[in-house]
Structure 1
Amino acid sequence: MTTARHLATIDEFRARLADGPGDGPGFHLAELATSEDFWDDGSGRALAEEQYEAERDGLAALLTARWGPPTELDLWPVLERTLAGESLPEPWSTLCAHTPELRLWRDEDRWIGLAVSRWDKELPLRLLALVTTADPPQA
């Protein structure tokens, strides 16, 4: 997919969220792109990480032009809280299991987020987009 298509998907999620529930109560979480699995010496993964980060950064530049600089949300403490048994609302409890960090913009009553999922070296990379009305968890 292209950056323009990714942006159109985010805009579609923003519009659909205004009309009713999304993937869960008050949010849409989607994989904009997914890589292959990795079983090599790591060089293929390193190149793919660069590509996915570049795609995220290109899309982030367009979102920054709309809503200003993003907030960088560290999701590692959120994951630690869920692992300790704390119940956190969606989409945050699911998202923290996929990515260690999230770029987050505010648009009126919605949050728009971008991340690259990369928890395991053998699993595919994923470019994730989030649109939600749920405020991010506090540190």
Structure 2
Amino acid sequence: MNLAEQCATIDQLWASPFPDDHGRSAAGWGGPGYAVAELTRRHGAREEAEDRAEADRDELSALLAQSWGAPYRFSLWSVHARALEQGAVVSEPWGWLSACAQELHSWCVGERWVALAVAHQGDDQPYQLLAVVTGVAPP
């Protein structure tokens, strides 16, 4: 997916109502209060794939910053640690996202949050650039 297609996907997520139930959608997947789309998928050696996915995020983030201003960068490490170590309940989509991503680039656009995250869900899985749109502010 090129940058124009990625921006169109984010616009679609932002403008569409959130799903009533958890599951797949035309753009990706979501649940009550959030929607997610995979924008890129990077395979290969771990460090190289991660670097490429982060470069994808940074390039798209720079483009979005032209319209929405500089992103708010947020580490998900503490969110994940609170959930694991203290049993804290973390609102979705932040709970599952903190288990597979380390950092967000996010913007508050109208009444919704738009976030970009590089996710990795296991050693044999690719690195994914995800777009997340939600009505729930990051924790």
- Range that drifts further, 48-57 or 72-81: 48-57
Question: Do 1:56 and 1:114's aligned partners in 2 also have CA atoms closer than 8 Å?
Answer: yes
Normalised to the residue count of structure 1, the TM-score between the two structures is 0.84
Cα deviation for residue 35 of structure 1 reads: 2.9
Structure number with greater CO (CA < 8 Å, separation at least 6) is: 1
Superposed CA offset, 1:63-108 (max 9, x none): 1011101111110110011112111111111110110111111111
Gap change, CA 1:112 and 1:10, over 3 Å in 2: same
2:37 corresponds to: 30
- Structure 1 segments of 4 or more deviating over 6 A? none
Amino acid at match of 1:86: A
Question: Do 2:49 and 2:126's aligned partners in 1 also have CA atoms closer than 8 Å?
Answer: no
1:21 corresponds to: 18
Which one of the candidate residues 98, 102, 105 is aligned to 1:103?
Answer: 105
CA radius of gyration, larger in:
1
Structure 2 CA distance for aligned equivalents of residues 88 and 46 of structure 1 = 29
Q: Is there any run of 5+ residues in structure 2 with no aligned partner, and where?
A: 20-29
Structure 2 CA distance for aligned equivalents of residues 12 and 119 of structure 1 = 25
Number of residue pairs matched by the alignment: 128
Cα deviation for residue 3 of structure 1 reads: 1.4
Structure 1 CA distance for aligned equivalents of residues 46 and 112 of structure 2 = 33
Q: Is there any run of 5+ residues in structure 1 with no aligned partner, and where?
A: 39-43
Normalised to the residue count of structure 2, the TM-score between the two structures is 0.84
Q: CA RMSD in A?
A: 1.6
Q: Give identity over the alignment, percent.
A: 42
